[in-house]
Structure 1
């Protein structure tokens, strides 16, 4: 009999569809309950939810999303494993119901507990196993340390130089002043760069930032801003147009973001402020430049050297196949 696995997540970026696809290729009965794809049934439902949030402080859509999980599990019966990614988006009472539908209940955290606390869930003894991408969280709470993964086939190093030297695609958030400062440095160095910032109400946020910023720190004129979300396929295309990917991590994050693995899979160099990257076997100072977020300095010599491929035996540790095999305890 096929093993039955369910993945529950709020998959805004659509990374998780690759997990399901690979499990199915391994002849596993796998499916995904994507809370990010849940929509109001109709306009009336949307209006009711707006009034509920304003006058009662209750988000009915959040409640319906969680009820949707239970409804889907009821249709599919018992499971061998249910994996929930970033379980903080689900209330304890719904987790307790979910657990009834599986032999093994597993959680994976690819946000730090500082950003997405789950103490109320851990204290309830819900999960049979908890994986975390954050080294400090794993040590502090006895989680299994597990990195994110390369979700696509390794890309060839292009024979021709891409049109940009450095690129980044980021939310417009507290990290923006660091990105902006780096943009001014690259401009002075006459290095072509392509920085895109995405957020709702982006023009208002940009105006608010510039209103408060000193003259020399206002948004660099070469930066691009948009409210429309960038899809994963488009993201990889944008990365392909540059030699180096820039990644500034969230405050108090020690885990490696997907940018690290996208850079490795695309065989591109990386600039990051995540100092823990030196502890990983793929770290190569020729490929990865670590900067100080308080005083970011882009070393010109790093911009001029070519990428050095990661040895295959090390690279394979960070593939989706290895991630899936480890998380679901599959036979190699």
Structure 2
């Protein structure tokens, strides 16, 4: 099967998907975030339109080189330039969209959704409201468990300052337990007076670097973005590495892999972390459930009619 996969792949997740699909299928992967911007030194008034024109030429050339595709899988179409979308969809027999952001961040009209044969959403509330197919993010790497209890008691990496107050509440909750060997990383400018256990940084971390820190930690933190009901990739990184999760997202209670031994749902405004949750061992997830969230299980769902 010939697959055209398009995504503004800032996080690197779509590249993992492309690598998996390429094992059995012919895949043309276009990361729109990686398209060159040759006119960045042009006068400001011309810079943006000239770069859009240049990127559309690059995009169209890549699509044309692949000929006709059996299916186009567009991830987060709202992040793709409209002319690039038109080029991709017109070159494909079937059109599938996967939304791994909520409409609160990247809205789409019903008219925009209607051009796809199938639309999957990671957000259960969006899926219900718009009649989309509910899906989830995926385990993009199977980490090898080495039995190490972990260098850090808890780990999180996130971008932006909006969720820092919630993270500070979690830091204080760990402090009250006498647990201070956590690693909390936030990608933004340093915030004066923030909890001293939080480290601020500027350069985005690679998936490989995040994966190494996940393996070296015992608990992964997940603080939902406002308006988000879908589960972030943190859950699936934790599942692959057999790590526990502390989260503010109550929707995890509805998933078949939920186990209170592994996942603690907290009140963002008043986080309470029982010492027993921190000290108790991880409970393994049954293999059939785990497989459902792997790339193999995910692609079988999305391309069910291949």
| TM superposition score normalised by structure 2 | 0.94
After TM superposition, the structure 1 = structure 2 runs for residues 149-164 of structure 1, keeping only pairs within 5 Å, are 149-156=138-145, 158-164=146-152
Shift of 1:15: 1.1
Q: 1:52 to 1:267 in 2, by over 3 A?
A: same
Shift of 1:163: 1.8
| In 2: Cα distance, 1:33 partner to 1:97 partner | 12
Q: Secondary structure at the match of 1:296?
A: coil
| In 2: Cα distance, 1:173 partner to 1:186 partner | 20
After superposition, give the CA deviation of every residue in 1:103-140 in whole Å (9 maximum; x if it has no partner): 011111000011100117526x3111111000001111
- Which segment drifts farther, 172-181 or 232-241? 172-181
| In 1: Cα distance, 2:225 partner to 2:87 partner | 32
Shift of 1:60: 4.1
Aligned match of 1:267? 242
- List 4+ stretches of structure 1 deviating above 4 A: none
Q: 1:130 aligns with which of 99, 102, 119?
A: 119
Question: Does the Cα contact within 8 Å between 2:291 and 2:297 map onto a contact in 1?
Answer: yes
After TM superposition, the structure 1 = structure 2 runs for residues 314-329 of structure 1, keeping only pairs within 5 Å, are 314-329=289-304
Q: Does 1:179 align with 2:177?
A: no
After superposition, give the CA deviation of every residue in 1:128-183 in whole Å (9 maximum; x if it has no partner): 11110000011111111110000112532x43321211110111231111001211
Shift of 1:68: 2.8
Shift of 1:185: 2.1
Shift of 1:59: 5.2
After TM superposition, the structure 1 = structure 2 runs for residues 88-107 of structure 1, keeping only pairs within 5 Å, are 88-107=78-97
Q: Secondary structure at the match of 2:178?
A: coil
After superposition, give the CA deviation of every residue in 1:52-102 in whole Å (9 maximum; x if it has no partner): 36xxxx554345434432221122211000111000022444433322101
| In 1: Cα distance, 2:185 partner to 2:137 partner | 23
Aligned match of 2:37? 40
Q: Secondary structure at the match of 1:225?
A: strand
| In 1: Cα distance, 2:271 partner to 2:74 partner | 36
| In 2: Cα distance, 1:83 partner to 1:266 partner | 28
Q: Secondary structure at the match of 2:298?
A: helix
Q: Secondary structure at the match of 2:253?
A: helix
Which ranges of structure 1 fall in alignment gaps of 5 or more residues?
Answer: 211-217
Q: Secondary structure at the match of 1:182?
A: helix
Aligned match of 1:214? none
After TM superposition, the structure 1 = structure 2 runs for residues 98-247 of structure 1, keeping only pairs within 5 Å, are 98-119=88-109, 122=112, 125-156=114-145, 158-191=146-179, 192-199=181-188, 202-203=189-190, 206=191, 210=192, 218-247=193-222
| In 2: Cα distance, 1:268 partner to 1:221 partner | 25
- Which segment drifts farther, 298-307 or 85-94? 85-94
What is the root-mean-square deviation in Å for CA atoms of aligned residues?
1.8
Q: 1:320 to 1:35 in 2, by over 3 A?
A: same
Question: Does the Cα contact within 8 Å between 2:7 and 2:80 map onto a contact in 1?
Answer: no
| TM superposition score normalised by structure 1 | 0.87
Question: Does the Cα contact within 8 Å between 1:109 and 1:131 map onto a contact in 2?
Answer: yes
Q: 1:154 to 1:227 in 2, by over 3 A?
A: closer
